[in-house]
Structure 1
Amino acid sequence: MTAPAAATHDHAPGRPRGPVRRPVLVATAVLVAAFAALPLGFVVAMTVDTGWSQTLDLVLRPRVGELLANTVLLTVTAVPLSVALGVGGAWLVERTTLWGRRIWSLLLAAPLAVPAFVGSYGWVSAVPSLAGLWSGVLIAVLFYYPLVYIPVAAALSRLDPALEETAASLGLGRWAVFLRVVLPQLRLAALGGAVLVALHLLAEYGAFAMIRFDTFTTAIMVQYQSTFNGTAGTMLAGVLAVLCLGLLAIESLARGRARYARVGSGALARPTRIPLGGYQIAAQAALLALVAAALGLPLWFVLRWTARGWAQTAPDDLVEALSTSFGYGAVTAGVTVAAAFPLAYLAVRQPNPLTRALEASTYVSSAMPGIVIGLALVTVSIRAVPDLYQSATVLVLAYVLLFLPRAAVGLRAGLAQAPVSLEEAARALGAPPAAAFARITLRLTAPASAAGAALVFLAVTNELTATLILAPNGTHTLATEFWARSSEIDYAGAAPYALTMVVLSLPTTYLLFRQSRRAAGRGGRSRSR
């Protein structure tokens, strides 16, 4: 019989069959995308409502110029330094005879497990006078360079060394090979990491507020707390949103259409590692200093303050904050994965300009700082649905907006590994469409869904800015309890909450590191387009 055999072939894009109908999927995806566009719509609407003349008066104030100068100086200083540390650390681990490189590969990624505001807390404990631009650069570089290191190390691990060997055989020295052959192939990974660092810098509140360094986000928070979503704060949020969108546009232009990929599916050859020789000790000392500053010093002071403050921190308070964070994290993880599924499903099974645009909309919203998303949801809830203001529902929706891409990326990869032909084969063997979908597609995407949910869950437990704005009265999470106590200079009382957040973040950081390596391995076997 030929019918069953024919049913096992993938059907053409645009003609979906099965339990999930295209109109339902598209309608759901459009709703999710429209919701994701809410913060951008809020900024535009508030600008129109304020009026062009008043908007110019508010935006062209000297204070805005000062904040813009601080933010730009921070970004143009910290981002290149983060790229240099990330690329340099990745090169030492992946391309040299560095002693203990397996351990160093994990230690260099580990600072990502320390929330930046916890790292700032550790450094302020060590140096109470820490303040100003260069202190902001120090904190930013130490706690955000792993965003460059992880993708660059993954890219380096899959580069075919044949190009480097060919360049060397033509007479190029080691530095020339690195600059002219290796570095261009790392451009996409380094550029992507640099944009992530820049976006985090624009969104960061706690780390810079603790060292008294004014940025747009800290100024918006002060404006919000003093005048409750005043027009001046809204206009600052608009400028910040424009900066974020500008960064995404610059990254897109810089990335261009260049791609670097191997052709063929053969095994990667192992690169010849460069002997460090007399530089071995210097490299070990440099990495030790970096990890000590980014990981050792904050953890030392967190543990030190915890030892002092554990007795004065009521266990019930810590348990309540932990359970609240767990509750919000679990609910948000489930909602976010459910919201991301239609977008990822259409992007993989029905790729076309519409589905790509719907998927891209989620990245625009997540690129905006939590302060902008918080202000948008406060305004919408007060004007449209007053009963939802300061409710758990609004806070969960803010988390979904912030972390939707974390779930979508994993789901996209999982769905790509669950070909529709398997589902059709199950139906050809007699399984009902819904059962075939559940047993094949959902089952094969379960690991990716779980990984995405874990990333969202732990991101929620460490989120501060949107939580401070939107949390219902009487809500205490790990992040807000830490912030409340540290703001009162009660470092001993804040330390147990900081330690709990770090412990919860370590598994996610390791998961992110391992996923990037596996993705690099799969990428090395893909064909170039």
Structure 2
Amino acid sequence: MSHASVPLDMSAGKRPPSLGRLSHGGRAPVVAAAMLVALLSLLPFGFVALIAIQTGWTDAVALVLRPRVGELLVNTALLELCTLPPAIALAVATAWLTERTDLRFAPVWSWLAVAPLAVPAFVQSYAWTTLVPGMSGLGAATLVSVLAYSPFLYLPVAAQLRRLDPALEDAAASLGLDPWRVFFQVVLPQLRLGICGGSLLVALHLLAEYGLYALVRYDTFTTAIMDQFQSAYNAPAANMMGGVLVLCCMGLLWLESRIRGDERYARLGPGAARVAHRKPLGPWAIPSMAGLALAAALSLGVPSWIIARWLAIGGAEVWGPAVASALGETLLLSLAGAIVTTLAAAPMAWLSVRAPGRVQRMLEACHYYVGSLPGVVVGLALVAVTVRVALPLYQTVATLLIAYALLFLPRAMAGLRPSLAQAPVELERAAMALGRTPFQAVCAITLRLAAPGAAASIALVTLGAATELTATLMLAPSGTRTLATAFWSLTGEIDYAAAAPYAAAMVVASLPLTLVLHAQSRRISGR
């Protein structure tokens, strides 16, 4: 009979592998793979500690307490303090106008608020320094930083605004509060999570950015480390500054967690929160659109116009074979890096969904923290390891791919985890009941269902790696020219016309990322 094919082993006392069995035997290779990636992600921390030990306590303290380090700390603090408040104000105002008012063409303005993410920060700086040749210092760094990074704040704030329950605002208004007091006393406190998360992301980008501040001649830890690495190669000084930069990153993570607090913002009560009524702008409609148009003109119009201008000046000659070659190398390296990164993140993503626990949380923290480190710190660590331990790997594609994997692990995790969570574990159990091994069940069932998430992870990491500059400059094999490194080399030679095609190619390649981020933000908030 047809049902005779059902496994008779079950009647003989053998049960199909369950999630419990998988957690002991079949899960071991997955745990081992996740631990290997976690250990690799701890390499920058281990590198900093090892360098401090080898340098010696006295010399290490002397290097860290130099006046130069104090100057860089002051510069970094000023940059953070001058950039974050206007970026927060711009993001919150734009989010309020596009999500809570009757602003005309709100979807268009929303897209324009996110679109600057398609322009790499060092391309923004290239545009502004060619438009205003004398532009430099803290003011220039602040302006370009706000224009380049405010979308990272707009996205979470706008998403949170869409989820807020307007009943609280109605209750506050019924108690006699005017609209401004309702906003500052009721709405703004509920946006703390979005503002803190976005501010942390912007603050970490400010620490990691190199090209933007090098072009406007504003010294930060990253520019100082790159100068030491590329010119004098003063290893102890550069490494100690890298250690200070790691401590700055950890300090920002701690500060954000303290400011964010542990308050709950969930709505309790029957039913669902109603959609907020869009407030009329009245006489403020035209000034609001004018302000948004000015922000879009500064963040998108200036780079677009400058790139187009230099392309026109350069003519057809600037579109030589070198541009196509750089584009090809960029696509190959970034795609290979994305595949390696996604494969490296897969074990941890699977464990976080299928086997949550204390060990899993520790391993997952290792996967996420490394994404907050600047590329220059990861590059320094890999340079030191390859030179001292594995010299044949120095300036090879393999080392560069490892750097991409470390830098973009969080992006891959963000794409993989939701898809794995939507793959029912019962399907794995059914496959194992039919005779598949745990590994075969995961490969045949779960990975197929998670394929869309893996594709999203590959796309996100590819676009990030395509515009990565510092680690690529430090680790790429001799003769390698990606779009970012070729652009940087030409701007260093003040050949802005020849650099324009590379800038244009990076902007076009980054546009899909902005589409993904904008669509994902609206999908998460149910709009």
TM-score past 0.5 threshold: yes
Q: Report the AA paired with residue 289 of structure 1.
A: L
Structure 2 counterpart of 1:49:
54
Contact 1:85 1:145 in 2 (8 A): yes
| Amino acid in the other structure paired with 1:120 | S
State the TM-score, normalized to the length of structure 1.
0.93
Q: Report the 3-state secondary structure (helix = DSSP H, G, I; strand = E; otherwise coil) of the residue aligned with 2:262.
A: coil
Q: CA deviation at 1:255?
A: 2.1
1:506 aligns with 2:504: no
Separation (CA, whole Å) in 1 of partners of 2:225 and 2:29: 39
Question: Which aligned pairs between 1:178-257 and structure 2 lie closer than 5 A?
Answer: 178-257=183-262
Question: Residues 264, 462 of structure 1: CA spacing in aligned structure 2 closer, same or farther, 3 A cutoff?
Answer: farther
In structure 2, the CA distance between the partners of 1:243 and 1:10, relative to structure 1 (3 Å rule), is farther
Tell me the CA shift for residue 265 of structure 1.
9.2
Deviates further, 156-165 or 135-144: 156-165
Which residue of structure 1 aligns with residue 380 of structure 2? 375
Range 360-369 or range 491-500, more displaced = 360-369
Rounded Cα–Cα distance in structure 1 between residues aligned with 2:124 and 2:156: 22
| Aligned match of 1:113 | 118
Contact 2:411 2:460 in 1 (8 A): yes
Question: By how many angstroms is 1:157 displaced?
Answer: 1.2
Matched position secondary structure for 1:212: coil
Give the superposition deviation at 1:467: 0.7
Instruction: Give 3-state SS (helix, strand or coil) of 2:526's partner.
Output: helix
Give 3-state SS (helix, strand or coil) of 1:274's partner. coil
Distance 1:443 1:275 in 2: 48
Higher mean displacement: 484-493 or 417-426: 417-426
Return the alpha-carbon distance in structure 1 between the equivalents of residues 105 and 155 of structure 2: 17
Question: Is 1:30–2:53 an aligned residue pair?
Answer: no
The residue identity in structure 2 corresponding to 1:227 is A
Deviations 1:176-213 (A, max 9, x none): 22122221221111100000000000000000100111
Q: Tell me how far apart the structure 2 counterparts of residues 286 and 173 of structure 1 sit (CA, whole Å).
A: 24
Aligned to 1:461, which of 448, 454, 466? Answer: 466
1:451 aligns with 2:456: yes
Which position in structure 2 is the counterpart of 1:358? 363
Give the RMSD, CA atoms, in angstroms.
2.4
3-state SS of 1:198 partner: helix
Residue matched to 2:13:
none
- 1:109–1:149 CA contact under 8 A, matched in 2: yes
Deviation at 1:254, TM superposition (A): 2.0
Residue identity opposite 1:119 in structure 2: Q
Higher mean displacement: 432-441 or 252-261: 432-441
SS in 2 for 1:129: coil
Q: Which amino acid aligns with 1:21?
A: G
User: Which AA in structure 1 matches 2:279?
Assistant: I
Which letter does structure 2 place at the counterpart of 1:364? Y
Q: State the shift of 1:314 in Å.
A: 4.8
- Which AA in structure 2 matches 1:88? A
For residues 202 and 53 of structure 2, the distance between their equivalents in structure 1, rounded to whole angstroms, comes to: 31
Contact 1:18 1:433 in 2 (8 A): no
Q: Identify if the C-alpha distance between structure 1 residues 435 and 376 changes in structure 2 by more than 3 Å, giving closer, same or farther.
A: closer
| Structure 1 residue 436 displacement after superposition | 4.1
Conservation of the 8 A alpha-carbon contact between 1:117 and 1:206:
yes
Letter of the 1:351 counterpart:
P
Unaligned runs of 5+ in 1: 523-529
CA distance in 2, matches of 1:497, 1:87: 33
Q: Is the 8 A contact 1:131 1:211 kept in 2?
A: yes
- Tell me the equivalent position of 1:320: 325
> Mean alpha-carbon deviation: is it higher for 319-328 or for 78-87?
78-87
Residue identity in the other structure for 2:478: N
Counterpart for residue 526 of structure 1: none
Change (3 A) 1:11 1:134: farther
| Aligned partner of 1:103 among 93, 97, 108 | 108
Deviations 1:405-461 (A, max 9, x none): 000112111111112123324444676655543343112211111111101001011
Q: Does 1:519 align with 2:524?
A: yes
Q: Match for 2:185: what amino acid?
A: R
Alignment of 1:32-431 (within 5 A): 32-263=37-268, 267-428=272-433
Can you list the C-alpha shifts for 1:37-61, whole angstroms capped at 9, x where unaligned?
1011111111111111111211111
Q: Distance in 1 between matches of 2:111 and 2:317?
A: 34
Separation in structure 1 between the aligned mates of residue 57 and residue 511 of structure 2, nearest angstrom = 47
Other structure's SS at 2:349 match:
helix
Deviation of the 1:391 alpha carbon: 0.6
* 1:86-127 C-alpha deviation (Å, 9 max, x unpaired): 111111100111111010010000001100000000111110
Query: Could you say which residue in structure 2 is the equivalent of 1:481?
Result: 486
- The one-character-per-residue Cα deviations of 1:104-153 (angstroms, maximum 9, x if unpaired) are 01000000110000000011111000000011000110000000001111
* Cα distance in structure 2, aligned partners of 1:31 and 1:315: 43
Q: Distance in 1 between matches of 2:140 and 2:49?
A: 34
Contact 2:17 2:432 in 1 (8 A): no
Q: 1:343 to 1:356 in 2, by over 3 A?
A: same
Q: Number of aligned residue pairs: give it.
A: 518
Percent of matched pairs sharing the same residue: 53
Q: Distance in 2 between matches of 1:312 and 1:62?
A: 47
Equivalent residues of 1:108, 1:146 under 8 A apart = yes
CA deviation vs aligned residue, 1:247-284 (integer Å, no higher than 9, x gap) = 01111222232232245795542211111111111101
